Amino acid sequence: MIVFQSDKQRICFFIKGYEYLDSEDPYDKNWLIVQIQVKKGCRNFSVEEPMLQTSELFSLKKWFLSPSHRLEFLEPTVVFLKSRIKPDVWAFELVFSEATACGGALDLDLEKDGYHFKMMVDDVAFELAAKQIGELISRWPMRL
């Protein structure tokens, strides 16, 4: 589990497991079911979908440690964005697709909030997230 938290917002990222437990297809057997929960004030959003391939965990880990600003995945459920605000602080943002947001357990004012969830995150939090993703890679390896 990866958690980013501030006074008014919390973003949690879980891997629930492989989508297809017994698949022989090399592509299908490496889909991961991911749950992302966002709490913004008293509002909540949660989505659980097969949105990542096991190989994309490596890209996510690398992204948290790199200066890259945008990370997209094969399944267009969510986009990860970041921009440097101060020498050790980033604006971290999740942007969900409209279909995902409308299909999820949505408790947000779409006129006001849209599908963007933004919070300030420091370098230490990104380094911890990269370490935690390394643990997820060990727990949910690519199946050959």
Residue ranges per structural domain of the chain:
2-139
Residue-wise pLDDT for 29-67, tens only, equals 999 999 999 888 887 888 899 999 999 999 999 999 999
Which CATH class, in words, describes the domain spanning 2-139? mainly beta
Count of other CB atoms within 10 angstroms of residue 124: 9
Prediction pTM value: 0.86
End-to-end CA gap in the chain: 24
How far, in Å, CA of 118 to CA of 101, rounded?
15
Query: Where does the pLDDT of residue 7 fall: very low under 50, low under 70, confident under 90, or very high at 90 and above?
Result: confident
